[in-house]
Amino acid sequence: MGFVVLFLLAALVAVGLDYWTRYWFVSVPIPPMLFVAYVLFDVYVLPHPDMHGHGNALWPIAVIFGSPVALLGAICGVVGFRWYRRRAGQ
């Protein structure tokens, strides 16, 4: 379920960026970068009271498996949005 949510959020962010900038090389890499930034923010900045200062050692796995999902979501979002825009005649 988490990968589905990540995929859809990445697609929505990519569609918004593609609508705003019209450049695929801007709108495709931003969602995976935002995902990695969120994971690192969650691990290193937010307090986790259940860990007692030991840190979370599973964040690299989240980055390894989550970044390609975010990248695929961004690619699908941009391709789908451009197909829709071309079909609608914009």
What span, in angstroms and rounded, lies between the C-alpha atoms of 20 and 40?
27
Contacts of 74 (CB under 8 A, 6+ apart): 10, 11, 13, 14, 27, 28, 29, 30, 31, 32
What's the whole-number average pLDDT of the chain?
87
The tally of domains found in the chain comes to: 1
Residue whose entry in the numeric block shows the structure tokens 């391709």:
79
**What percentage of residues in the chain have a pLDDT greater than 90?**
58
- Residue 50: its pLDDT value, please? 67
Encoded amino acid at 73, one letter: G
pTM recorded for the entire structure: 0.83
Inform me whether the pLDDT recorded for 55 exceeds 60.
no
Tell which wins on pLDDT, 62 or 56. 62
For residues 11, 14, 18 and 19, what is the CA-based torsion angle, rounded to 10 degrees?
Answer: 70
In terms of residue numbers, what domain contains 58?
2-88
pLDDT, tens only, 18-37: 999 989 899 999 999 999 99
Inform me whether the pLDDT recorded for 49 exceeds 80.
no
Q: Which of the four pLDDT bands, split at 50, 70 and 90, describes residue 88?
A: confident
